[in-house]
Structure 1
Amino acid sequence: MFLSRWLPGLANLLHYRAEWFRPDLQAGLSVAAIQIPIAIAYAQIVGLPPQVGLYACILPMIIYAFIGSSRQLMVGPDAATCAMIAGAVAPLAMGDPERVAQLSVIVTVLVGLMLIGAGLARAGFIASFFSRPILIGYLNGIGLSLLAGQLGKVVGFQIEGNGFILSLLNLAGRLGEIHWPTFALGIAGLALLIALPTRFPKLPAALVTVAIATVVVALFGLDRFGVAVLGPVPAGMPKLAWPHTNLEEMKSLLRDAIGIATVSFCSAMLTARSFAARHGYTINANHEFLALGVSNLAAGASQGFAISGADSRTAVNDMVGGKSQLVGIIAALVIALILMFFTTPMAWIPQAALGAVLLMAGWGLIDIKSLHKIWKLSRFEYWLCVLTTVGVLGLGVLPGIILAVTLAILRLLYSIYQPTDAVLGWVPGIEGQVDIRKHEDARTVPGLVVYRFDDAILFFNADYFKMRLLEAVQREKHPRAVLFDAEAVTSIDVSGIAALREVRDTLHAQGIVLGIARARGSFLRMLVRSGLAREMETGLLYGSVRAGIRAYRLWRNKLRREGPSAEPV
């Protein structure tokens, strides 16, 4: 019980299946092959030496493998968080590389502590705002971003311009600058990545492709012909040390750490939930806060920088067929061994081959079939999915997601503001009540309006509820009573209670009795707590619509015998 709650990764590994090892080994080697050059490149974004990017991979990947609940998610350096770290530390470091490294460690530890605090505060509900269309749109946006971002490695020149559209426009205007040896190597890598899984499904296509490309570059000296390679990487593990700082720096870094923690969690959670949905299991958002927080503390302790869910490496893991968290451990150990003993061969890895692997990973993230399904089910959610993709491409990951979530919430509020309602009747042969607007042959009880409101009655729709109910009464000829079917009213607030009182008083002034059927849950509790249940005339709260109608008929018959002075039943 303890392991499954606090160390789900370890609990999963204790029930490891032997048949998982081969795909996990292949996936771990493939992830390591991609993680190494990406980590080196992202370290340069922050302004750190290349080996620091590898420091940020090893211990966090192992920690997450034990604590994390996602079987596919790979953690590591992320472009968005790296850019935010650079913006946080550069003004304080003032060009001093040593201070950049020290401040990066401090902000990473702050990010870790914030994420752990959010997990303990059970702030994982934030992830519930990421609906399925938003998840698909997010992955599509990340996939297209990967395609645009890696094309430069394949064509042999750095594509300028920020964003998907500007990158493609820049590429289209510079097609004459294609470096053909690099392009040929990249196309050959793509061909291998497409062919190998079909012909030899048990081979790790990404690793084999990178290995073959590296051997070709080294044997033929293609770097002399302008083919870009990784270049030398210093060997060795980090020397642990705690950096010094002051209160003013801490205040500045604390503000930036909040944003970095938000981006880190959103990126990791969206990726983890998306791949969990693909493989039929669920993610505990509160626990993911803790897992990501401890992983960031591990990154800080190993002199690295803030990490997040690595979408490209997660995509490679999924593409190769990784089965468990052992993939992260294998990848981390491989990176550690290479960092200590085998940094020399890394210098020959061609950027074109790495670009080809990431192009395939990006293409695998794009889900066109789900877009077609969403279009058939809901046009609004289809456009929400598309907008998420466009937002991620045009505004960035976090602003794009925030825009989509905001629109989804506004749509939800609008649906609550004007929910569906109905005047109920009966059709022979159909069990239960029906909406009389949809059934012309529906019958009603003369003098009785049975009205249903299909959502909570809250401050922003209380007046709408009052208006719709009174309009329904006005359409009835000679109404004597209203039976409010409250089964769908899950809750009501103070404004809703006030509106219900006003409805009762307005009807009473017209000689019309108000009854309520099927009140339950928090709605019924509010009726009792507000005193409205006590204020209503005896017997006007009913357990069912049928009971309310039966009481109305008895009262109507009593009226006929005794006259207007007859009390409601």
Structure 2
Amino acid sequence: MRGSEWVPGVQAAASYEARWLPKDVMAGLVLTTLLVPQGMAYAELAGLPAITGLYTSILCLVAYAIFGPSKVLVLGPDSALGPMIAAVVVPIVLADGDPGKAVALASVLALLVGLFMTVAAVAKLGFVADLLSHPTQLGYINGLAVTIFIGQLPKLFGFSVEGEGLFADVKGFVTGLGDTVPAALAIGGGGLAVILVLQRFLPKVPGILVAVVGAIGAVTLLSLDDVDVVGPLPQGFPPFTIPIVTLGELGMLAAAAVGITLVSVTDTISTASTFAARAGQEVRGNQEMAGIGAANLAAGLFQGFPVSTSGSRTAVAAASGAKTQVTGLVGAVAITLMLVLVPGLLKDMPQPMLAAVVIAASIGLLDIPGMVRLWKQRRIEFALATAAFFGVAVLGVLPGIAVAVALSVLNVFRRAWWPYRTVLAKPAGVDGYHDVAQYPDGAHIGGLVIFRFDAPLIFANARTFREEIRRLAQAGPKWIVIAAEPITDVDTTAADMLEELDEELNAKGISLVFAELKHPVKEKIDRYELTRTIDPAHFYPSLDDAVAAYGQRERDSA
């Protein structure tokens, strides 16, 4: 990749058309109405001061506009990352007794995520997004949605609870219901209802803005002193800050950063693919990682925390007519002007309203139809999704992502370990040889068995292959023909197995024959010198050729 291609913003600026500016500006202003309340709410979800959400939004939007390849993708604080950040930041802060340290920890976390993203982009490691399969990602996100929802309920009701984990949060909420502040519940519950109703029936109306303005107005006009509010925000642009942490804390943060990076990459590639397909564009996975990396590095140096792509904010920008990343720059400028000129604008923002914003986001994350679809389509993948869900619910957010990755990898290994295998037969009126499970009445040729093994032949499944062949050999065939087209590889462990198996079959008067073996795999067979035992003549380009050769052999021996 040429140096200039690592900075797509320069190329975009050079080709920018003046006619796009009005749409980008309008979309940016609309986007700002979503960026401000969500940024503040997700900051508090992460265990940080609300102002850091605004600092983070400003810097990540600017950085991605310069280094990000997508024209409409919008970055920012994310509801899925909030609990992951809180899981590592909050315990350290509580143990240290210094609330101000939370910002430094979160900023280092952002720097580490940015570093990992950048290294991955340079090394072209975009494939890491594949470590989370869709079922495990679905289960993880659903678990995260439930965790966020339950965790925010006390704040919505006007009280707080102590405890770690989903079950502790449920217990704390139930036992704390007697401390409910009616005014707080009215503000938070009413705001949540407004957001959900408008999203459902009037999606073009900015539901969050309407709810926030209404909540601030209610607190101010009704003098609801028993409702907690955000309070005055610091004035001015976020200061450049180099965060300092101890070496022990750095190790904990690095482990968390790996999980956040994986989730962020997966979410970004998925969201980018969706919107690129709509626009007829291609996704540049490695450049996307570079853009996300730059956004996190910028946020980390200005008292921010890790960010990711937001599907909801991107959808708002696209629906509002956004043409380029100028939309994000307009949003960044608007937030900066608010902090410089009117920092007191949001001082009466009720904390229950921020909880309502987060709960609405968690409801948006929840995908029950997706789980139902997995149950109907493939039970094993439903089980994987369920296991990932409970991994988050029982073990916690960060261990949950480790469980999700492990389940995805184990599922791949399971498919290689126990691949589909079958005997083939020739159905009447159908060309070729097909699975006997599909055509149980298919014709078989006396003394010949055609066996298909639908996986690379490797150490994990070599024993499975051998046992299947031994089972087929019990019927006493003369030839066992391997329909080898699905076998894309043979490793050394499998090669040793084949050599021993062929000698075992030869002792019983049975020949092991291969048909449709791919040329690269045949080259490996030759390199392993397997033709010392397997007859070199027993490799055929097609099943028809193998069957014809067997028929000729039988006629010659008659």
What TM-score bracket applies, with the shorter chain setting the length?
Answer: 0.7 to 0.9
Give yes or no for contact 2:32–2:335 (8 Å, CA) kept in 1.
no
Structure 1 counterpart of 2:467, which letter?
Answer: M
Give yes or no for contact 2:74–2:313 (8 Å, CA) kept in 1.
no
- The verdict on how the C-alpha distance between 1:413 and 1:241 changes in structure 2, with shifts beyond 3 A counting, is closer
- The verdict on how the C-alpha distance between 1:19 and 1:533 changes in structure 2, with shifts beyond 3 A counting, is farther
Report the secondary structure of 2:422's partner residue: strand
- The verdict on how the C-alpha distance between 1:298 and 1:118 changes in structure 2, with shifts beyond 3 A counting, is same
Report the secondary structure of 2:481's partner residue: strand
For residue 32 of structure 1, the aligned residue among 31, 36, 39 is: 36
Give, in whole Å, the separation in 1 of the partners of 2:119 and 2:380. 36
Give, in whole Å, the separation in 1 of the partners of 2:493 and 2:97. 58
Deviation sequence 1:433-465 (CA, Å, 0-9, x none): 134466453322222222222211111221221
Q: What residue is the counterpart of 2:539 in the other structure? A: 541
Report the more deviating stretch, 12-21 or 368-377: 12-21
Q: What residue is the counterpart of 1:261 in the other structure? A: 257
Deviation sequence 1:362-391 (CA, Å, 0-9, x none): 212212222221111111111222222232
Structure 1 counterpart of 2:133, which letter?
Answer: S
Deviation of 1:18 after TM superposition, in Å, equals 6.6
Where in structure 1 are there 5+ consecutive unaligned residues?
Answer: 561-569
Structure 2 counterpart of 1:81, which letter?
Answer: I
1:352-501 aligned at under 5 Å gives the runs: 352-436=352-436, 439-476=439-476, 479-501=477-499
Deviation of 1:516 after TM superposition, in Å, equals 1.3
Give, in whole Å, the separation in 2 of the partners of 1:345 and 1:121. 45
Q: What residue is the counterpart of 1:342 in the other structure? A: 342
Give, in whole Å, the separation in 1 of the partners of 2:186 and 2:108. 44
Give, in whole Å, the separation in 1 of the partners of 2:440 and 2:100. 80
Give yes or no for contact 1:425–1:442 (8 Å, CA) kept in 2.
yes
Structure 2 counterpart of 1:259, which letter?
Answer: A
- The verdict on how the C-alpha distance between 1:252 and 1:283 changes in structure 2, with shifts beyond 3 A counting, is farther
Q: What residue is the counterpart of 1:76 in the other structure? A: 77
- The verdict on how the C-alpha distance between 1:53 and 1:184 changes in structure 2, with shifts beyond 3 A counting, is closer
Give, in whole Å, the separation in 2 of the partners of 1:125 and 1:196. 38
Deviation of 1:89 after TM superposition, in Å, equals 8.4
- The verdict on how the C-alpha distance between 1:334 and 1:140 changes in structure 2, with shifts beyond 3 A counting, is farther
Deviation of 1:73 after TM superposition, in Å, equals 4.8
Residue 158 of structure 2 corresponds to residue 160 of structure 1 = no
Q: What residue is the counterpart of 2:307 in the other structure? A: 308
- The verdict on how the C-alpha distance between 1:411 and 1:263 changes in structure 2, with shifts beyond 3 A counting, is closer
- The verdict on how the C-alpha distance between 1:285 and 1:134 changes in structure 2, with shifts beyond 3 A counting, is farther
Structure 2 counterpart of 1:267, which letter?
Answer: V
Give yes or no for contact 2:41–2:357 (8 Å, CA) kept in 1.
no
Give, in whole Å, the separation in 2 of the partners of 1:437 and 1:36. 58
Give, in whole Å, the separation in 2 of the partners of 1:158 and 1:206. 23
Report the secondary structure of 1:422's partner residue: strand
- The verdict on how the C-alpha distance between 1:218 and 1:197 changes in structure 2, with shifts beyond 3 A counting, is same
1:165-244 aligned at under 5 Å gives the runs: 165-197=167-199, 201-222=203-224, 224=225, 226-240=226-240, 242=242
Give, in whole Å, the separation in 2 of the partners of 1:290 and 1:115. 6
Give, in whole Å, the separation in 1 of the partners of 2:102 and 2:29. 36
Report the secondary structure of 1:452's partner residue: strand
Report the more deviating stretch, 328-337 or 536-545: 328-337
Structure 2 counterpart of 1:457, which letter?
Answer: L
Deviation of 1:160 after TM superposition, in Å, equals 3.3
Report the secondary structure of 1:506's partner residue: helix
Q: Percent identity?
A: 29
- The verdict on how the C-alpha distance between 1:61 and 1:395 changes in structure 2, with shifts beyond 3 A counting, is farther
Deviation sequence 1:399-431 (CA, Å, 0-9, x none): 213213323332332332232322322121122
Give, in whole Å, the separation in 1 of the partners of 2:253 and 2:170. 32
Report the more deviating stretch, 367-376 or 188-197: 188-197
Structure 2 counterpart of 1:551, which letter?
Answer: A
Report the more deviating stretch, 441-450 or 71-80: 71-80
Report the more deviating stretch, 342-351 or 253-262: 253-262
Q: What residue is the counterpart of 2:267 in the other structure? A: 271
Report the secondary structure of 2:451's partner residue: strand
Deviation of 1:107 after TM superposition, in Å, equals 5.9
Report the more deviating stretch, 515-524 or 8-17: 8-17
Deviation sequence 1:150-198 (CA, Å, 0-9, x none): 2223211113332333323322223232211111222322332244456
- The verdict on how the C-alpha distance between 1:198 and 1:491 changes in structure 2, with shifts beyond 3 A counting, is closer
Deviation of 1:218 after TM superposition, in Å, equals 1.8
Give, in whole Å, the separation in 2 of the partners of 1:199 and 1:457. 54
Report the more deviating stretch, 479-488 or 326-335: 326-335
Report the more deviating stretch, 157-166 or 522-531: 157-166
- The verdict on how the C-alpha distance between 1:528 and 1:188 changes in structure 2, with shifts beyond 3 A counting, is same
Give yes or no for contact 1:187–1:356 (8 Å, CA) kept in 2.
yes
Deviation of 1:347 after TM superposition, in Å, equals 0.9
Report the more deviating stretch, 192-201 or 398-407: 192-201
Structure with higher Rg: it is 1
1:286-305 aligned at under 5 Å gives the runs: 286-302=286-302, 304-305=303-304
Structure 2 counterpart of 1:74, which letter?
Answer: L
Give, in whole Å, the separation in 2 of the partners of 1:96 and 1:360. 31
Q: What residue is the counterpart of 1:524 in the other structure? A: 522
- The verdict on how the C-alpha distance between 1:146 and 1:65 changes in structure 2, with shifts beyond 3 A counting, is farther
Give yes or no for contact 2:109–2:254 (8 Å, CA) kept in 1.
no
Give, in whole Å, the separation in 1 of the partners of 2:99 and 2:194. 40
Q: What residue is the counterpart of 2:120 in the other structure? A: 118
Deviation of 1:472 after TM superposition, in Å, equals 0.7
Where in structure 2 are there 5+ consecutive unaligned residues?
Answer: none
- The verdict on how the C-alpha distance between 1:449 and 1:111 changes in structure 2, with shifts beyond 3 A counting, is closer
Give yes or no for contact 1:42–1:82 (8 Å, CA) kept in 2.
yes
Give, in whole Å, the separation in 1 of the partners of 2:206 and 2:440. 65
Give yes or no for contact 2:481–2:515 (8 Å, CA) kept in 1.
yes
Give, in whole Å, the separation in 1 of the partners of 2:489 and 2:269. 30
Report the more deviating stretch, 357-366 or 483-492: 357-366
- The verdict on how the C-alpha distance between 1:508 and 1:241 changes in structure 2, with shifts beyond 3 A counting, is closer
Give, in whole Å, the separation in 1 of the partners of 2:384 and 2:156. 32
For residue 145 of structure 2, the aligned residue among 138, 143, 146 is: 143
Aligned length: 543
Deviation of 1:351 after TM superposition, in Å, equals 1.6
